[in-house]
Amino acid sequence: MEITEVNIFLQNEERLKAYVSITFDNVFVVRNLKIIDGKKGLFVSMPSRKTKEGDYKDIAHPITNEMRDLIEKKVLLAYNDKLKNS
């Protein structure tokens, strides 16, 4: 599985830096990932929704650490490129 497209939508908020959509193999899109500025730097948050109890549950997320690392690397690289070009 390959990430074939990353779209960055910059935000002007203190912690939320961007919304992201990623495409896998030119056939499957995951929208509403977020780039968050956390205590240890930037990280990618998976799309989630709020439960009745007030918790947040991921709607989609990688199963393996390798895929999570790949997604984060590609997304943050695209984010940095977007910042340089805007």
**DSSP string of 6-64, one letter each residue:** EEEEE--SSSEEEEEEEEETTTEEEEEEEEEEETTEEEEEPPEEE-TTS-EEESS--SS
Task: Give dist(CA 83, CA 58) in Å, integer.
Answer: 27
Per-residue pLDDT of the chain (86 residues; tens, 9 = 90+): 899 999 999 998 999 999 999 999 999 999 999 999 999 999 999 999 999 999 999 999 999 999 999 999 999 999 999 999 98
| Global confidence as pTM | 0.90
- Count CB neighbours of 69 within 10 A: 11
